[in-house]
């Protein structure tokens, strides 16, 4: 979803645990924004020659889809002790776009 951190927080506010989106951050990297315990957290997604991931030496996912599929079945707690949730509910791109005026 092409949005800012602030917009991501608004889109995710009040959503169920595990609701998430992946967006560019202010430095051009990718970030995961996710709801956990009624709070929106943000994690940088690293892209290295080995693949995508949250930290070395775990940048092992060839595609973003593989990273999402892994964490759909495994808690993000593997990466961050505060994130005791899986990736459950992706925010659709159309929800992030402003309605067009006629």
Tell me: the pLDDT tens digits for 48-87?
A: 998 999 988 878 999 999 999 999 999 999 889 999 999 9
CATH number of the domain residue 45 falls in: 3.30.505.10
101 assigned to some structural domain: no
**C-alpha span between 93 and 51 (Å, rounded):** 24
84 assigned to some structural domain: yes
48 assigned to some structural domain: yes
92 assigned to some structural domain: yes
55 three-state secondary structure? coil
Percent of the chain with pLDDT over 70: 90
Q: Is residue 1 within 8 Å of 80, Cβ to Cβ?
A: no
**What is the rounded average pLDDT of the residues 7-18?**
97
Bond preceding residue 86 cis, omega within 30 of 0: no
Domain of residue 36 covers: 5-96
pLDDT value at 38 more than 70: yes
**C-alpha span between 97 and 46 (Å, rounded):** 25
């Amino acid at each position: 979803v092409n949005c800012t951190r602030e917009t991501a927080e608004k889109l995710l506010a009040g959503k169920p645990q595990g609701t998430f989106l992946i967006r560019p951050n202010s430095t051009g990297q990718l970030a995961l924004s996710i709801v956990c315990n009624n709070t929106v957290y943000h994690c940088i997604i690293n892209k290295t020659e080995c693949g995508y991931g949250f930290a070395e030496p775990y940048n092992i996912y060839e595609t973003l889809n593989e990273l999402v599929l892994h964490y759909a079945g495994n808690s993000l707690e593997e990466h961050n002790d505060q994130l005791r949730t899986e990736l459950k509910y992706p925010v659709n791109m159309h929800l992030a776009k402003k309605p067009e005026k006629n």
